[in-house]
């Protein structure tokens, strides 16, 4: 953890991914969630870090919304697509644990459908690192495939790489242990997708986190 590890699964399918998902959002509610996040970030000082940015569509949307966003991803092949499509933007090869280490002030973090690929114990560790790095009030938006079952995250048969679904309450509780305070959440369901999907907006709270990683 805390280092770039590559992402063999996404490296292998980056071309297919880019043609399958030519736009940022599959469902309108996702766009609204990101728009609400962008509004909360406003003119906070620093960069908005898109962790697990993939082919960069959401990073680009945030820049279009006036934010100083950059993307990080461990998959070199996904970043190749991002850099080709958005040559004016900044993309860094880095995983969730290392993403913040070389950066200056952080205005906010967004991590959509990327932390699901971390083993649950690693998620706790990463949230602890983020919490230690962020100033009070910093917004963090996390999106993930969700579960309706309380308890441990569920390993599921993601098409590309190992992935875990979380009950939103469990993810929110882990964020709370690591010094984040929940602002809102959206859980949406669509007949075209087999799982609920969650967007969870939190901010770094005042005070010291109980680091769980
Ligand atoms: C489903 S894509 C989501 C891309 C983008 N966030 C979006 O919303 O369109 C998941 C991305 O997470 C990245 N990822 C996998 N493991 C990661 C890790 N340990 N840290 C950060 N990103 C990771 C993958 O390389 C992939 O680009």
Domains of the chain by start residue, with CATH: 8-204 (3.40.50.150)
Ligand 1 center–CA 135 separation, angstroms: 24
Beta strand 91-93 pairing with 106-112:
unpaired
Model confidence at 70: pLDDT above 90: yes
Question: Coil, strand or helix: which one is 164?
Answer: strand
Whether 73 lines ligand 1, by a CB cut-off of 6 Å, is yes
Q: From start to end of the chain, where are the E strands?
A: 47-51, 69-73, 91-93, 106-112, 139-145, 154-156, 163-165, 180-188, 197-204
Confidence of residue 99 (pLDDT cuts 50, 70, 90): confident
Whether 59 lines ligand 1, by a CB cut-off of 6 Å, is no
Model confidence at 113: pLDDT above 70: yes
Model confidence at 211: pLDDT above 50: yes
Residues 147-163 have a mean pLDDT of 92
Confidence of residue 210 (pLDDT cuts 50, 70, 90): low
Each residue's pLDDT tens digit, 182-204: 999 999 999 999 999 999 999 99
Long-range CB contacts (< 8 A, 24+ apart) of 150-157?
A: 152/120, 153/120, 156/195
Q: For position 128, what pLDDT does the model report?
A: 96
Each residue's pLDDT tens digit, 171-183: 999 999 999 999 9
- Counting from 1 in the atom list of ligand 1, the atom nearest the Cα of 52 is 22
What is the value of pTM for the model shown? 0.95
For the chain, the maximum distance between any two Cα atoms, rounded to a whole number of angstroms, is 44
- Tell me how far apart the alpha carbons of residues 160 and 7 are, in angstroms, rounded to a whole number: 10
- Per the rule left: phi > 0, alpha: psi between -120 and 50, beta: everything else, 6 is left
Sorted by sequence, the CB contacts under 8 Å of residue 70 that are 6+ apart come out as 47, 48, 49, 50, 59, 89, 90, 91, 92
Query: CA-CA distances (angstroms) from residue 17 to 23, 160, 190?
Result: 11, 10, 21
Residues 65-78 have a mean pLDDT of 97
Helix 120-133 to helix 168-177 angle (10° resolution) is 40
Whether 199 lines ligand 1, by a CB cut-off of 6 Å, is no
Q: Side-chain half-sphere of 141: how many Cα atoms within 13 Å?
A: 26
């Amino acid at each position: 953890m805390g280092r770039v590890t590559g992402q063999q699964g996404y490296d292998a399918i980056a071309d297919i991914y880019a043609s399958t998902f030519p736009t940022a959002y599959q469902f309108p509610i996702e766009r609204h969630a990101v728009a609400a996040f962008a509004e909360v970030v406003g003119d906070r000082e620093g960069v908005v870090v898109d962790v697990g940015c993939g082919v960069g569509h959401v990073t680009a949307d945030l820049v279009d919304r006036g934010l100083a966003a950059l993307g990080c991803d461990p998959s070199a092949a996904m970043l190749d697509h991002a850099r080709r499509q958005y040559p004016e933007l900044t993309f860094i090869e880095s995983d969730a644990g290392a993403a913040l280490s070389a950066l200056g002030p952080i205005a906010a973090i967004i991590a959509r459908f990327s932390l699901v690929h971390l083993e649950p114990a690693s998620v706790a560790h990463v949230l602890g690192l983020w919490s230690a790095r962020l100033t009070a009030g910093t917004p963090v938006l996390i999106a993930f495939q969700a579960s309706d079952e309380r308890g441990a995250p569920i390993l599921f048969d993601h098409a590309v790489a190992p992935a875990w679904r979380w009950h939103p309450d469990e993810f929110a509780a882990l964020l709370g242990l690591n010094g984040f305070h929940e602002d809102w959440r959206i859980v949406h369901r669509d007949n075209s997708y087999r799982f609920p999907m969650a967007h969870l907006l939190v901010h770094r709270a005042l005070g010291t986190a109980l680091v769980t990683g």
